[in-house]
Amino acid sequence: MKKVLYFLLGLLVLDVFFNYGLISFSSIYGKLAVIIGFFPLAYGVTKASGLNGFRDMGVFRHEGWIRNFTKGFAVGFLFWCVYFGGLIIHGDISVIGVKPLSENLMTFSITAFGFFMGSFINDIIVRGYVIGHLRDGIPLVLAGTISVAVYTLDDAWHAGFSWNNTLFSIILGISLTLAFIRSGSIWANTGIHYGLNMCYGLFFGLVGSEDGGLLIVKERQIGNFDDILLIAVAVLMVLFIYFWGLFKKDSGKKADHFPVLKQFS
């Protein structure tokens, strides 16, 4: 019971510190302070709650970790290109042009940094911390399911609750969790997360507005097609990761913290 309490308290501290901290500060310096401050806080929380620092959360270098991240990024980016391509073909989004290079360099830098840190820290909290704590006490399938539930609740905090968004979060959470467990570390999962966010950033940037991305876009009122397409692409990505086994053998001998069990083979 004491371990459960420490686990839940640590999860609450990390989640609230990062998510509420980013919302609380309007300046870039305040947000940067939250990002920097997260890592020593996370290290202390994991030590206090029984984990061996970041390594037990899958954050460590091993043979193939860059390859896992790169492949993950390609998967996430390409599948979200399919999604946005479908919106363009359907007429939900029109690409009018590309912003000037001088403006794009700043936009790209902010978007790339913001989405990477957001993806990386979110993955540490909802997958690394959760599965790292639960993997030895319960079946890995159940630990992964709890991680997906935490991710879904976390996403609802940001985007607000709707049945469509909840279903999408569950499906996307499954793909990210599957990549995390299959690869034995955080890099493949973060690569996917970062890749799809960067594809989104091309169109809408870090702030999620028509004028926030690298492309000049015009968005019309989006209806049911957008929800159906988004869920369909997310399902295809889960099936792709599951059946191709893209990250299954990339972790090398040192990535032994999250062994691949039969239920994920």
pLDDT of residue 263: 35
Q: How many independent structural domains does the chain possess?
A: 1
Tell me: the pLDDT tens digits for 70-100? 999 999 999 999 999 999 999 899 998 888 8
pLDDT of residue 222: 65
- The predicted model gives 18-41 an average pLDDT of 90
pLDDT of residue 103: 79
Residue 32 lies in a domain: no
pTM for this entry: 0.89
Tokens 């978007």 correspond to 111
Residue 231, pLDDT > 50, answer yes
In this structure, are residues 240 and 76 in contact, taking their beta carbons and an 8 Å threshold?
no
Residue 249, pLDDT > 60, answer no
Tell me: the pLDDT tens digits for 44-63? 999 998 898 899 999 998 88
Tell me: the pLDDT tens digits for 134-160? 988 889 999 999 999 999 998 887 777
Q: Which residues contact 76 (CB under 8 A, 6 or more apart)?
A: 191, 192, 193, 194, 195, 196, 197, 198, 199, 237
Return d(Cα 56, Cα 257) in angstroms, integer. 7
pLDDT of residue 105: 87
Residue 49 lies in a domain: no
pLDDT of residue 248: 53
Strands (E) in 124-234, as ranges, are 215-219
- The predicted model gives 202-214 an average pLDDT of 86
Residue 19 lies in a domain: no
Residue 157 lies in a domain: yes
Q: What's the mean pLDDT when you consider all of the chain?
A: 87
Half-sphere exposure for 36 (CA within 13 Å, toward CB): 6
Domain extent at residue 135: 62-264
Q: Which of 14, 11, 208, 43 is nearest to 111 (CA)?
A: 208
Residue 70 lies in a domain: yes
Residue 102 lies in a domain: yes
Residue 256, pLDDT > 60, answer no
- The predicted model gives 206-221 an average pLDDT of 84
- The predicted model gives 224-241 an average pLDDT of 94
Instruction: Tell me which long-range contacts 84-90 makes (C-beta under 8 A, separation of at least 24).
Output: 84/199, 84/200, 84/202, 84/203, 86/229, 86/233, 87/222, 87/226, 87/229, 90/225, 90/229
Instruction: Tell me which long-range contacts 164-169 makes (C-beta under 8 A, separation of at least 24).
Output: 164/227, 164/231, 167/231, 168/227, 168/230, 168/231, 168/234
Residue 162, pLDDT > 60, answer yes
In this structure, are residues 73 and 192 in contact, taking their beta carbons and an 8 Å threshold?
yes
Strands (E) in the chain, as ranges, are 93-98, 215-219
- The predicted model gives 117-129 an average pLDDT of 96
Residue 45 lies in a domain: no
Residue 54 lies in a domain: no
SS3 content of the chain, % helix, strand, coil (to 5): 70, 5, 25
Sign of CA dihedral 230, 153, 260, 256: positive
Return d(Cα 236, Cα 242) in angstroms, integer. 10
